[in-house]
Structure 1
Amino acid sequence: MHENSKMSGMRFLAVTVLNALITIVELAGGLFSESLALLSDAFHNLGDSASVVLAYVASRIGLKNSNTSKTFGYRRAEIISAFINAIFLIVVSVFLIAESIRRLTAPSPVNGGIMLIVAVIGTVANFGSAWLLSRGAKGSLNIKATYLHILSDALSSFGIIIGAIIIQIWHVDIVDPIVTILVSIYIMWETWPVLKEAINILMQAAPNLDFEAMKRDMLKEPGVVNVHHIHVWQIDENRIMFSAHINLNDQLLSDVEPVYRHLENLLQKKYHVDHVTLQAEVFRGKSNELFTRDRHDI
């Protein structure tokens, strides 16, 4: 675990340095070439540098153990980071689309040669950064949001290369804001699922599970009469929490514990639930539905 964390830190540092350098190069190139696409990409990269630092800090906070203040631990720090990064991407994209539309009505001349050179440098560096983060993007919403930041800039830089070639050969300056609009729309399209998932987790929305099937499987356990008052939520994108009340036949508490173990094993293996909390009852709530309808009963 220590080696993995150290390697992650080194990758985050390398990506931050790369993005800082790209930002400086693209700001200078955008100003000299008067390319909105390059300037927009520079601001994206500036945001990426901040998002990489934020993602790293959040990942370190997420490793802290639970305590009396945070009984579920600090894993939500990474979800908050993913949420902030996604919001930032969408806001910047909307701003760039608005500025590009303004440029469409009054296009300004662009130096395609400088634009092309800077875009090639940006593309290579951004794809390198994306590669460094690609491994961690599969298992963490936080790193995935940061990875999308970097990948979107890599694709943006590639789009700028195409735009620069068109400008250089055919002198069609209007291509610059068009490329900016297309890339911004693509970024928002890719970012929306990350933002939606982060919001769902922060709002403690239930994961996509077949709750009726879960109830049927739990009722197959000998002695279980009814299952009600279910609550299911996620701490992060990987950990599912489950709580429920179960009605049992009147029996000794020592006889209830094996039922608990069997149900926990079922929920963990078949439905990938990480933490199971069950409350045994005999008569109370015996006719209640699967989900509570009373706010006072939560």
Structure 2
Amino acid sequence: MADSKEMTGKKFFSVTMLNAGITLVEAIGGIFSGSLSLVSDAFHNLGDTFSIVISYIAHRISQRDEDERNTFGYGRAQILAAMLNALLLIVLSVFLVVEAAKRLSHPETINGELMMVVAVIGLAANLASAILMHRGAKHNMNMKATYLHLLSDTLSSVGVIFGALMIQWYNVTMIDPIITIIVAIYITFESWPIVRNSITILMQGAPQMDYDAIKADLMSIDGITNVHHIHIWMIDENRIMFSAHINMRDMLLSEAEPIYRQIERLLATKYGICHVTLQAEDVRGRDEDMILNEDLEQQLKTRQQGNSKE
């Protein structure tokens, strides 16, 4: 585990240094060549440098063990970082589209040769950074957001190279802001799902699941007579939590525990649920809905108040 953390730290450090270096090169090259797409790529890389630092800090925080303050651990630090980085990309894309629109109406002279040299250097650095982060991006939303930053930089560099060729060969300076707009739209399109998924997790949203199938599977277990008050939510993109009230025939606690283990195995293997909390009941709640709604919750409160008066 320590080796894994160290390797991740080395990757983040290497990628940060690459991005910081290429940001400086592209900013200088963009100013002297007059290329908006190079300047926009430099801004993009500057944003990536900050996002990589944020991602690394969030990654380290997420490694902390559960404690009294956060009994589910600190994994959501990476979700917050992913959402922040994706939002940063979207805001940056809007800014680039506005600047590109200005250039379309007021074209400027561009040094295509200098633009090409800087873009090739940027492509090499961005591609190296994306390769470094690719492996960790498969199962981690935070690293995926960082990888998306780097991948979009690589695509942007390819676009800048194409624009430089068009300017050198045909003197079509308008291609520069057009490429900027295309890349900005692509970045926004790829970033929005990360924002949406992050919000879903932070709002304790549930993944797409067949609740009727879950109930049917649980009801097929011998000893269970009903399932109600089901709650499913995500702690992060890899951990799904489950809680439910289950009606069971009257039995000893030692008889109920094997049923609990059977439920846990079923939910883990078939539905990918990693944490299960169950409340066993005999007849209480047997006629209640699978998912508790506000009207039913008010009925329960009224019923409880009536029982307390008795």
Same fold (TM over 0.5): yes
Alignment of 1:237 with 2:237, yes or no, is yes
SS at match of 1:226: strand
* Number of the residue aligned with 2:123: 123
* Number of the residue aligned with 2:54: 54
Residue 253 (structure 1) shift = 2.3
Per mean C-alpha deviation after superposition, the further-off stretch among 288-297 and 102-111 is 288-297
* Number of the residue aligned with 1:84: 84
* Number of the residue aligned with 2:307: none
* Mapped partners of 1:119, 1:16: distance in 2: 18
The count of corresponding residues between Structure 1 and Structure 2 is: 298
SS at match of 1:148: helix
Residue deviations 1:141-197 (CA, integer Å, cap 9, x gap): 000000000010010011000001101111111111000000011111111121211
Alignment of 1:281 with 2:255, yes or no, is no
Alignment of 1:188 with 2:188, yes or no, is yes
Per mean C-alpha deviation after superposition, the further-off stretch among 136-145 and 279-288 is 279-288
* Number of the residue aligned with 1:267: 267
Per mean C-alpha deviation after superposition, the further-off stretch among 19-28 and 106-115 is 106-115
* Mapped partners of 1:130, 1:64: distance in 2: 27
* Number of the residue aligned with 1:216: 216
* Mapped partners of 1:266, 1:71: distance in 2: 25
* Number of the residue aligned with 1:24: 24
Residue 199 (structure 1) shift = 1.2
* Mapped partners of 1:293, 1:200: distance in 2: 19
**Unpaired runs of at least 5, structure 1:** none
- Which protein is bigger by CA-based radius of gyration? 2
Residue 251 (structure 1) shift = 2.1
TM-score (norm 2): 0.94
Residue 254 (structure 1) shift = 2.3
* Mapped partners of 1:128, 1:170: distance in 2: 31
TM-score (norm 1): 0.98
* Mapped partners of 1:290, 1:17: distance in 2: 53
* Number of the residue aligned with 1:178: 178
Name the amino acid aligned to 1:9: G
Alignment of 1:39 with 2:39, yes or no, is yes
Residue deviations 1:89-129 (CA, integer Å, cap 9, x gap): 00100111111111111111111111111000000100000
* Mapped partners of 1:125, 1:261: distance in 2: 51
Residue 252 (structure 1) shift = 2.2
Q: How does 1:140-219 map to 2 (within 5 A)?
A: 140-219=140-219
Name the amino acid aligned to 2:85: N
* Mapped partners of 1:175, 1:277: distance in 2: 58
Residue 261 (structure 1) shift = 1.1
Residue deviations 1:10-52 (CA, integer Å, cap 9, x gap): 1110000000000000000011011110011001100111111
4+ residue stretches of structure 1 with deviation over 4 A? Answer: 295-298
* Mapped partners of 2:145, 2:277: distance in 1: 31
Name the amino acid aligned to 1:115: M
Name the amino acid aligned to 2:78: E
* Mapped partners of 2:247, 2:209: distance in 1: 22
Name the amino acid aligned to 2:269: K
Per mean C-alpha deviation after superposition, the further-off stretch among 247-256 and 213-222 is 247-256
SS at match of 2:255: helix
